[in-house]
Amino acid sequence: KTANAGDSTKTDIGKKVKYLSEPLISSIYTADPSAHVFNGKIYIYPSHDIDAGIPENDNGDHFAMKDYHILSMDSIGGKVTDNGVALDIKDIPWAGRQLWAPDAAFKSGTYYLYFPVKDKKDVFHIGVATSANPAGPFKAEPEPIAGSYSIDPAVFTDTDGKTYMYFGGIWGGQLQRWISGKYEADGSKTDSKQEDAPAISCKVALLKSDMKTFDGAVKDAVILDSLGKPLLTKDHDRRFFEGSWMHKYNGKYYFTYSTGDTHLLCYAIGDSPLGPFTYKGVFMKPVEGWTTHHSIIEIKGKWYIFYHDTQLSGKTHLRNVKVTELQHNADGSIKLIDPFL
């Protein structure tokens, strides 16, 4: 695959491929699936891809989504229900354009939908909306979460009840424009441009019990190499790009993420949800399409990865969500998944 977000060509495997799994739904295009088990049922919170007729570019302007549909299924392999529009951009008071990858959480009878969208000045922030029903409809708060920026919220509740939000993405996700602590509108379009410096980290914030505000400062979710040194900007095969997720397995914290322009899903393991995390390897090879974005859940004693590719459209901005099993090896490593047979 090329390292160019504007390139929608298929993988070098070409068209004669057999996919590991099939799209979960074909009536609409869906991507960035954040899956959760609520009340024993699986709910998938994806982006809803549309063709807005916007040319592809490295900024991701062609990802011009305008609403969310939540999918649900009683079991893996079961019937998939599209629960209709759960939140529309027109009902988010502060939103400008581009409703990107969401996530959800549950606490004390309320479901929370976390979503990144550009404000009216074209700067990404993360908003929150609430509902009594996991499939919505959701009502958005009037303002974005104070102190939030960039994209791809992933919300993790630890076994002690504390909830954390991981967020951020470089390039079109704008994380590199916040290095100074303030948004730099004329900043880099890609990364820090400091090739030998530590790569820009994914961010992590503790959520207050209201689930709508950050509790204290936003921190770096640092990824270290096997020698304990932070991964560097130039290390495109291993450094964080976007699409983080957290799952806990055998008491360890598994920070998983996309490397973006090198199209890999990688994992790093730590002893705290705040990190640091030590890089362990690739756990999913590139899918068809430029972006790769996932979530991981456990249900009925098995682990699954939800992901997307472009099987239905062949176009990088019109994606379809999928699911397949994820296996942890006895030594705690994750078995490598190839999305093609």
Query: Phi, psi at residue 90, to the nearest 5°?
Result: -70, -15
Q: Is residue 208 within 8 Å of residue 165, measured between CB atoms?
A: no
Nearer to ligand FUB, 278 or 308 (CB): 308
Nearer to ligand FUB, 129 or 278 (CB): 129
From 242, 261, 288, 309, the catalytic residue = 242
Nearer to ligand FUB, 101 or 165 (CB): 101
Contacts of residue 181, defined as CB under 8 A and 6 or more positions apart, other chains included, come to none
Quick one: which of 5, 87, 105, 151 contacts ligand FUB (CB under 6 A)?
A: 151
Signed CA dihedral, 266, 285, 239, 312: sign only: negative
Burial of 232 (0-12, 13-18, 19+ CB in 10 A): middle
The verdict on whether 32 is a catalytic residue reads: yes
What's the CA gap between 145 and 128, in Å, rounded?
7
In degrees to the nearest 10, what's the CA dihedral of 212, 136, 154, 300?
Answer: 130
Residues 228-247 that bind ligand FUB (CB under 6 A): 242-243
Cβ at position 60, least distance to ligand FUB in Å: 6
Signed CA dihedral, 179, 184, 190, 196: sign only: negative
Residue 262 found at the interface with ligand FUB (CB under 6 A): no
Residue 63 found at the interface with ligand FUB (CB under 6 A): yes
Cβ at position 304, least distance to ligand FUB in Å: 19
Nearer to ligand FUB, 36 or 118 (CB): 118
The verdict on whether 143 is a catalytic residue reads: no
Residue 291 found at the interface with ligand FUB (CB under 6 A): yes
Residue 152 found at the interface with ligand FUB (CB under 6 A): yes
Residues 83-142 that bind ligand FUB (CB under 6 A): 100-101
Contacts of residue 269, defined as CB under 8 A and 6 or more positions apart, other chains included, come to 252, 253, 254, 255, 277, 278, 280, 332
What's the CA gap between 86 and 256, in Å, rounded?
27
Quick one: which of 11, 30, 34, 47 contacts ligand FUB (CB under 6 A)?
A: 47
What's the CA gap between 116 and 102, in Å, rounded?
7
Quick one: which of 293, 311, 337, 339 contacts ligand FUB (CB under 6 A)?
A: 293
Q: Which residues of this protein are in contact with ligand FUB, per CB under 6 A? A: 31-32, 47, 63, 100-101, 151-152, 169, 242-243, 291, 293
Q: Which residues are catalytic?
A: 32, 242
